[in-house]
Amino acid sequence: MKIGILTSGGDCPGLNAVIRGAVRKGVRLFGDEFVGIRDGWRGLLEGDLHPLTTHDVRGISGRGGTILGTSRTHPYSGGGPDAMRQVMKDNGIDGVIAIGGEGTLAGAARLADDEGLPVVGVPKTIDNDLGSTDYTFGFDTAAAIATRSIDALRTTAESHHRCMVVEVMGRHVGWIALHAGMAAGAQAILLPEFPVTMERVVEWVESARDRGRAPIVVVAEGFVPVGVDAEEGVAAIAADGRPRFGGIGDYVAAEVERMTGIETRATILGHLQRGGVPTAYDRVLATRLGLAAVDLIHDASWGYMTSLSGTDIIRVPMADAVESLKAVPKERWDELEALLG
């Protein structure tokens, strides 16, 4: 079979490991031929393709980013499904592996289920907000980068007796803030799923200060304090119409300093969390998902994606995975509250 691979949406560590796993298994076990599709859906719409051999994927599992490039091109732009169908026909492509997050997989599900295109998916996002999979690759690396950053900020905070507010990514969910905050021992961890008042945040900060600690506040970019305008944490609207988060950390820091008198600084980690090399966990998970994606192609399981359930790799409908965001559950917040302050 001839298989196309694309990476779409935001980049994250582990994308190259998926590509490597899929190509090596397809070539070695099935004698497949692969083509790389450049810059996500744009490449499939415009026929921007190149051969992808086992030589091309040598040693890439530890590299961050994606060797194929990525974009946020909408699959229904520039000719949409008809253009893709023609490109696939002209190039003899039997199926496409689409690696992406919520938006990519929603588009891939629609292309497969409504348009009849032979597309399967592999879930990725540093936000860990996709349903129907326990974890997405990229998340572990992002949480690890955030944890190391908080550890570094703690030493300077202690030297100056400051409070440090650290804003992390996650969009509408707080998985990165939860894991990085717990790992780094933050005194306040603010999640979009469980908004609190600034008075509550101040209680946690002052409790830490009174014990001689330099308070650390970790805030997810989508968090909005109770009683504050919801747009406070949204910096801008991106070209694709989605909110571009960033800035709630500055608001929280200013309020903490105003309400407590403690010198407070804010650090927005931003795209640092997307960069760098993937952790061992993400390399293994991404590789396994890529291996399983080849089986989806050969089984003609169009509209399905590979998924992690416990320690097993399974297949689930892409439409189910994007039906709703996977938010931090109440029981995780309940166990976290015992650590705050």
207 contacts 256 by C-beta, under 8 angstroms: no
* pLDDT tens digits, one per residue of 104-150: 999 999 999 999 999 999 999 999 999 999 999 999 999 999 999 99
Helix (H) or strand (E) holding 98: strand 95-100
- 341 labelled as ligand-binding? no
CA distance 84 to 73: 13
Model confidence at 12: pLDDT above 70:
yes
Measured CA distances, 21 to 4, 53, 284, 292 (Å): 14, 12, 10, 9
CA distance 197 to 138: 31
Give me the amino acid identity at 322.
V
* pLDDT tens digits, one per residue of 292-301: 999 999 999 9
Candidates 124, 37, 122, 341; CA nearest to 216 is 341
Candidates 115, 135, 153, 112; CA nearest to 272 is 153
Measured CA distances, 305 to 100, 121, 298, 329 (Å): 10, 4, 13, 24
Domains detected in the chain: 1-135+277-321 (3.40.50.450), 138-273 (3.40.50.460)
pLDDT of residue 246: 78
- 206 labelled as ligand-binding? no
CA distance 107 to 101: 10
Helices (H), 26-161: 41-46, 80-91, 102-113, 139-160
- 103 labelled as ligand-binding? yes
Over pLDDT 70: what percentage of the chain?
A: 96
Rounded mean pLDDT, 10-19? 96
- Burial of 231 from C-beta contacts in 10 A (0-12 / 13-18 / 19+): exposed
pLDDT of residue 142: 97
CA distance 37 to 248: 37
Band (pLDDT 50/70/90 cuts) for residue 231 is low
256 contacts 205 by C-beta, under 8 angstroms: yes
- 104 labelled as ligand-binding? yes
- Burial of 285 from C-beta contacts in 10 A (0-12 / 13-18 / 19+): buried
pLDDT averaged over every residue in the chain: 94
- 40 labelled as ligand-binding? no
Model confidence at 234: pLDDT above 80:
no
Band (pLDDT 50/70/90 cuts) for residue 229 is confident
Whole-structure pTM value: 0.93
Report the catalytic residues.
Answer: 127
- 169 labelled as ligand-binding? yes
Helix (H) or strand (E) holding 188: strand 188-190
Measured CA distances, 306 to 4, 118, 234 (Å): 16, 15, 32
- 221 labelled as ligand-binding? yes
- Pairing between β-strand 243-245 and β-strand 304-309 as defined by DSSP bridges: unpaired
Rounded mean pLDDT, 308-318? 97
Partner residues linked to 314 by β-bridges: 307
Rounded mean pLDDT, 42-65? 97
- Pairing between β-strand 95-100 and β-strand 188-190 as defined by DSSP bridges: unpaired
Report which of residues 239 and 76 the model is more confident about.
Answer: 76
Model confidence at 77: pLDDT above 90:
yes
In the numeric block, the tokens 């039997």 are attached to 94
